[in-house]
Structure formats: structure tokens, C-alpha cells
């Protein structure tokens, strides 16, 4: 299976190098797959460093577990797309140790989100009304971590350069988001969006995401260092991914309320 994937992927990258005639939808789907759906599941340790405009740094350490509902990464008819579950376990700073954030990302309805606060001995559902709020005080939004569903935007290929497809994404429901549109610079070979720029209604760029480092792990081109910068506050968050593993066979039952209070240690190491 794994070997097959690598084979398919290399085929894909070979194919795209010559075929500049991909449709916008195909590009968008491949980018979506490369960013959020690679493998059946994934585990990564993350060091998050938030640096504000005064160069003050804060560090958080967390482990992200992801499990996809579909068994396939097939692009055909968007077969790779489906519901996903995320389990985010915090270990540092010490005072948020064991804090857990869990998401059931649903394509057909609102996401389900939970927060476990060990010091308050509290499991809390978080209303999913707005996913574009800060992810634990960083410059990333929840939606940046779990992935924005591609059906929520209209996509337009505005430019093709030597290296990138530039896609302009305009929200179908402008009232639900703070941006007017965002531009993705999608790498032609890996389909990783190496830069994403968010613009406001006055065409002012106010937020930029960057892929700072890409490694191939188990055959998947994987962003192992990324950043999100707010041009408004001057704050910047860098996420560094270590011990990235795909297809580890995460069981579905650990993504449940029961495991919030008692973390599945085995999978977090």
C-alpha cells in the first residue's frame, strides 16, 4: 500500500511537470490532499513558537493525531475527502500539560469541538459557529489546523508561474469569514501551498502563511516547518513538526470524550 502510494505520487509529480493543463479544481484538490489528507492517519509532535512584534517569544509543545474517515487518498471524484478527527494534546508549558483539544471535522455539518482543561477538571464542548478564531493564542486559526473545506470557496487560477499555480479563493459566504479572498501559491510538483496570503476588502494583505521546510516522509512531501504571520499585529507563529508518522493505525475510539481525560499515551510518545 505504502509503496503503491509512493509510486502513484511520483507518477503524479512526473505528470504535473509536463501537464500544465490541469483544471483549477484538480489543482485545488491535489493541494487539499497534500496539506490535510495525506495517508490514512498521521501523528506529529509540534513545537509552536509565537513571537510578537516586540520579539517576545512563547513556546508551546503539542502532539497532533489525525485520522481520516475515507480509506483512500484517491483524487477521483474527491474520494480522498471525508470526515476527519483530530486529537491535539498539549505538553508544554507545564501549566497546560495534558490539555486536549479535539475536533471532529464534518463536511456535511458543523464540526464538533471539545476542550479538556485538566486543572479545572473540565471537558467543554466549543460551539463551532466560528472556526476562524485563534488556535490557543497563536496566529494560526483553528481552521488552519484542521483545514478549510474547499467547497466553501470559489477557486480561480489567476496565474501559473514556473514553479507555482496561483489560486485565488473567494468565499461563497463572505459574512462568515474575515477575509475578502486568499491567494495560494501552490507548488507545481508537490502541490503544497508554499504561501497563502489573506486579503481584506480593501485588497490589503493582512495575513500570510508560509511553508518554510518540506521533507518527504514515508513518501509524502510534508511541511515540517510552517509559519503564520499577522501583518496587523506583527505577531508570527512558527510550527516545527518532528517525529512525523503516517499510517500508524490510530484506532477510531481514541478520538472520543472518554480519552480526553485519560490521554492515549501509547500514541502520543
Partner 1 sequence: MSLKKSSWLIDYAIAKPRTISWIMVILTFLLISLATLPSLWPVAFPALNGLKVDTDPENMLSKDEPVRVFHNAAKKEFSLSDIVVVGIVNTEHKEGVFNPQSLTRIYELTNYAKTLQWSEGDEEHGVVEVDIIAPSVVDNIEQGGEGIVNFSWLMPEPPTSQEEAIAIRDRALHIPFLNGTMVSEDGKAMAIYLPLVSKHDSYEVREKLLEFTSQWDKGDQVHITGLPVAEDTFGVEMFVQMAISAPLAMLVIFGLLWFFFRNLTLVISPMIVAMVSALSTMALLIITGNTIHIMSSMIPIFIMPIAVLDSVHILSEFFDRYPAIKDRRKTIIEVMKHLFMPMLFTTITTIAGFASLALTPIPPVQVFGVFVAIGVLLAWFWTVVFIPAYVMLMPEEKLEGFGHSASDEDDSSFLSRVLHRLGKWTYDHAKTVLGITLLCVGVSAYGISKIQINDNPIKWFNQEHPIRIADKVLNDHFGGTYIAYLEYKADEKGQSLDEYSSSLKQRLETWKQEVIADEYANVESVFSQAMGMITKTKGTTVDEYLLKLQEQVNEKMDAASDEDYDTWSELALFLDAEDQRHQVFKQPEVLRYLSALQEYLLQTGIVGKVNALPDIIKTVHRELFLGKQEQFRIPDSANAVAQTLVTYQNSHRPQDLWHFVTPDYKKTNLMLQLNSGDNIDMEKVIAAVEDFEKNNPPPMNLKSEWFGLTYINVIWQNKMVQGMLKSFMGSFLIVLLMMIFLFRSLWLGLLSMIPLTVTVGLIYGVIGFIGKDYDMPVAVLSALSLGLAIDYAIHFLARSREARNKTGNWKEAVDEVFGEPARAISRNLIILGAGFLPLLAAPLVPYQTVGVFIAAILICAGVATLLILPAAMTLLENRLFKGA
Q: Which helix (H) or strand (E) holds 225?
A: strand 220-230
- H helices present in 147-264, as ranges: 258-261
Return the closest-CA partner of residue 43 out of 195, 255, 261.
Answer: 255
- Please identify, using beta-carbon distances, which residue of 117 and 214 lies nearer to partner 1: 117
The 42-81 contact track toward partner 1, x by CB under 8 A, reads ----------xxx-xxx-----------------------
C-alpha span between 73 and 261 (Å, rounded): 32
Q: Does residue 91 contact residue 97 with C-beta atoms inside 8 Å?
A: yes
Of 14-22, 69-77, 94-102, 219-227, the window that binds partner 1 (rule: CB under 8 A) is 94-102
Among 94, 108, 253, 266, binds partner 1 (CB under 8 A): 94
Please report how close the Cβ of residue 235 comes to partner 1 at its closest, in angstroms.
7
- Decide: 14 and 6 in contact? Cβ < 8 Å: no
Q: How far is the CB of 56 from partner 1 (least distance, A)?
A: 5
Query: Binding to partner 1 by residue 6, rule CB under 8 A?
Result: no
**Interface stretch with partner 1, choices 5-13, 29-37, 65-73, 88-96 (CB under 8 A):** 88-96
* Secondary element (H or E) of residue 146: helix 142-146
Is residue 205 within 8 A of residue 231, CB to CB? The reply is yes
- Our finding on whether 96 is near partner 1 (CB under 8 A) is yes
Q: How many helices (H) and strands (E) does the chain have?
A: 5, 13
Is there a cis peptide before residue 68, judged by omega within 30 degrees of 0?
A: no
DSSP-assigned letter for residue 83: -
Site residues (CB under 8 A) for partner 1, limited to 123-162: 124-127, 129-130, 132-138, 142
Q: How many CB atoms are located within 10 Å of the residue 190 CB?
A: 22
Q: Between 167 and 206, how does the x/- string for binding to partner 1 read (CB under 8 A)?
A: --------x--x-----------------------x----
Of 108 and 203, the one with the shorter C-beta distance to partner 1 is 203
Give the residues lining the site for partner 1 (CB under 8 A). Answer: 52-54, 56-58, 91-97, 99, 115, 117-120, 122, 124-127, 129-130, 132-138, 142, 175, 178, 202, 230, 232-233, 235, 269
Amino acid at each position: 500500500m505504502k509503496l503503491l502510494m509512493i509510486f502513484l505520487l511520483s507518477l503524479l509529480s512526473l505528470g504535473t511537470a509536463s501537464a500544465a493543463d490541469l483544471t483549477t479544481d484538480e489543482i485545488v484538490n491535489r493541494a487539499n490532499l497534500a496539506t490535510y489528507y495525506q495517508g490514512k492517519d498521521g501523528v506529529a509532535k509540534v513545537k509552536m513558537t509565537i513571537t510578537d512584534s516586540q520579539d517576545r517569544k512563547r513556546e508551546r509543545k503539542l502532539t497532533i493525531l489525525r485520522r481520516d474517515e475515507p480509506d483512500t487518498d484517491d483524487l477521483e471524484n474527491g474520494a480522498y475527502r471525508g470526515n476527519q478527527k483530530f486529537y491535539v494534546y498539549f505538553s508544554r508549558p507545564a501549566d497546560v500539560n495534558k490539555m486536549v483539544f479535539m475536533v471532529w471535522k464534518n463536511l456535511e455539518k458543523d464540526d464538533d469541538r471539545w476542550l479538556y482543561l485538566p486543572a479545572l477538571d473540565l471537558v467543554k464542548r466549543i460551539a463551532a459557529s466560528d472556526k476562524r478564531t485563534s488556535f490557543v493564542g497563536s496566529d494560526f486559526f483553528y481552521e488552519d489546523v484542521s483545514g478549510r473545506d474547499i467547497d466553501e470557496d470559489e477557486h480561480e487560477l489567476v496565474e501559473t508561474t514556473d514553479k507555482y499555480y496561483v489560486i485565488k479563493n473567494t468565499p461563497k459566504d463572505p459574512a462568515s469569514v474575515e477575509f475578502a479572498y486568499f491567494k495560494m501559491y501552490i507548488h507545481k510538483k508537490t502541490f503544497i501551498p508554499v504561501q497563502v496570503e489573506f486579503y481584506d476588502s480593501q485588497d490589503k494583505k493582512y495575513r500570510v502563511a508560509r511553508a518554510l521546510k518540506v521533507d518527504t516522509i514515508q513518501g509524502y512531501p510534508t511541511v515540517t516547518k510552517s509559519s503564520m504571520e499577522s501583518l496587523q499585529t506583527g505577531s508570527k507563529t512558527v510550527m516545527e513538526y518532528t517525529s512525523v508518522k503516517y499510517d500508524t493505525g490510530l484506532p477510531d475510539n481514541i478520538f472520543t470524550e472518554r480519552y480526553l481525560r485519560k490521554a492515549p499515551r501509547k500514541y502520543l510518545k
